[in-house]
Amino acid sequence: MRRLRCLSVGVVVTTLAMAGCASRSNNTTAGNTATASAGTASSAAAASQADFGTLKNVCKPGTPASSTSQGVTAAEIKLGVFTDMGFTKNPELVDAAKVFAAWCNAAGGINGRKIVPVTRDAAYFADAQQVLASCQSDFADVGGSAALDDLGVKNRLNCLLPEFPAQPGQILSTGADLQVIAGGASVGYAPYADFYSWLIKEAYPDSADAVGVISGDSPITKVIAAQLAEQIPALGGKLSYSDLYPATGVSDWTPYAQSLKSKKVKGLVFNGDFASLAKLEQVLTNIGYKLDWIDTNNNAYGPAFIALAGSAALSAQNNYADISGVYPPEKASSNPATQQVVDLYAKYDPKAQLTLPALRAFSAWLLFATAASDCTTLTRTCVYQNAMKQTAWTGGGLQAPVDLSSTTEPPKCFNAEKATATGWVPADFKPNTGAYRCDSVAYKFTGNYGKPLTLADVGKTMADVK
């Protein structure tokens, strides 16, 4: 799945710097310290209307038809927003819900019904309990994420609750029934195959036989490491080094840096918190060892990593992140949809931080609103089926097009960012479709890493969904 990197709770327990799939940097706009100004007069005017980017009449007034669906009244729609904010202290997904609801409701809501976001704080360890709470009163879950969402997926399917997540977390949840992911599910496919293929075949071909992996020691990251061990050779590379670092933290990264040097590793995939990566890179730079490339994972995509790593390490090492087909927010002025989000944040919540997960959340909210507005009678079945009809979803221009009609479509496009001493910038990955490269290299896993749950797994069918 073309998703944000889902990593380990264990890694963040002691650092809080890495936030799994439910949160990211607690700093300003993803990328650089991006502009949150009012933007141009034209984009500000557009933000007050029913249109978003290329999407028309997303939110508008109306006289809603009666509905017996849970969470729906004549005046409002209650929607759960999952977050791990109680643990991470990062409100990015709640903020995104607030901004979207303010804009949508000002435009008339969903055919006259106001959106009412309800925060469901899993705080990392309480996803199952929060799903049960959502099951009691919400119409659907929209624009949220919980790192350990495998814990609640069975409860969600049991109560027939649709989900439009900003980003899913774990394998049982990703692509599960009654879920539509605005970025695509791509169940069974390696999410970053095209990114790694570009790194080892085009950008740094000399690195192909010397790829290393360092992961935080947790069950989740061990699965990611196992998938890399399968994927890298299939793409023409060789995994020459693999190591774990303890969840309790590392006081001295010198032994890891020396190991990378002695093994002559040229390309490194780092599955852990970016604060630890910053320390490792500083040691690597101090001992005079330069890798060809480092995959920081997209948890690092933000100004916090830039500040922590420092100009010396960023100048010495080549840091890259695949940002999952989302238009880079530091280039918002070049993309009307992204600029519109910047303007909406400036208008409705100027203190909030526009992050990469927040942009993902916006796409999810737009998907829900578009699907719901096309329902004569608002039901879960109607919204879910309408969303599944989207075959080239872009969130109005926030992301590369994705076919949502199937959960098993491989990723089609990617875009990579490079960290520099002054911020993140688009890498030279040879885009061929606007900001994206869409001659995707797809790789389908052959190993057994688990599969998403279905309604049948809990004794239900679509006929049970109302």
- pLDDT given for residue 169 in this prediction: 86
Q: Which of 385, 390, 443, 388 is nearest to 414 (CA)?
A: 443
Q: What is the pLDDT of residues 273-296, one digit of tens each?
A: 999 999 999 999 999 999 999 999
Angle, nearest 10°, between helix axes 380-388 and 356-373?
A: 110
**In the chain, which segments carry CATH 3.40.50.2300?**
9-187+335-410, 193-326+413-426
Q: Which of 212, 199, 207 is nearest to 240 (CA)?
A: 212
Q: Which CATH superfamily does the domain covering 9-187+335-410 fall into?
A: Response regulator (3.40.50.2300)
CA distance 24 to 17: 8
Question: Quick one: DSSP state of residue 295?
Answer: E
Given pLDDT bands bounded at 50, 70 and 90, which one contains residue 390?
very high
Q: What is the pLDDT of residues 195-222, one digit of tens each?
A: 999 999 999 999 999 999 999 998 888 8
- pLDDT given for residue 30 in this prediction: 55
Total number of residues shown for the chain? 466
Domain 193-326+413-426 classification at class level: alpha beta
Q: What is the pLDDT of residues 8-30, one digit of tens each?
A: 434 444 333 333 343 333 344 55
307 has pLDDT over 80? yes
- pLDDT given for residue 49 in this prediction: 78
| Extended strands (E) in 2-153 | 76-83, 114-121, 140-142
- pLDDT given for residue 446 in this prediction: 97
Q: Would the pTM of this model clear 0.85, i.e. be above it? A: yes
Q: What is the pLDDT of residues 76-95, one digit of tens each?
A: 999 999 999 999 999 999 99
Q: Which residue has the tokens 């927040």?
A: 358
191 has pLDDT over 70? yes
Give ∠ CA 81-86-91 in degrees, rounded to 5. 55
Other C-beta atoms closer than 10 Å to the C-beta of 136 total 10
- pLDDT given for residue 247 in this prediction: 82
Beta strands 319-322 and 293-295: pairing type? Answer: parallel
259 has pLDDT over 90? yes
* Contact predicate 274/12, CB 8 Å: no
* Contact predicate 326/359, CB 8 Å: yes
Residue percentage of the chain with pLDDT more than 70:
90
pLDDT, averaged across the chain? 91
Give the range among 46-55, 90-99, 328-337, 431-440 with minimum mean pLDDT.
46-55
Given pLDDT bands bounded at 50, 70 and 90, which one contains residue 434?
very high
* Contact predicate 337/53, CB 8 Å: yes
Q: What is the pLDDT of residues 148-166, one digit of tens each?
A: 999 999 999 999 999 999 9
Distances (CA, A) of 227 to 168, 233, 289, 322: 18, 11, 27, 17
CA distance 158 to 135: 9
Average pLDDT over residues 424-441: 95
CA distance 87 to 121: 9
Q: Which of 64, 191, 141 is nearest to 387 (CA)?
A: 141
Residue percentage of the chain with pLDDT more than 90:
85
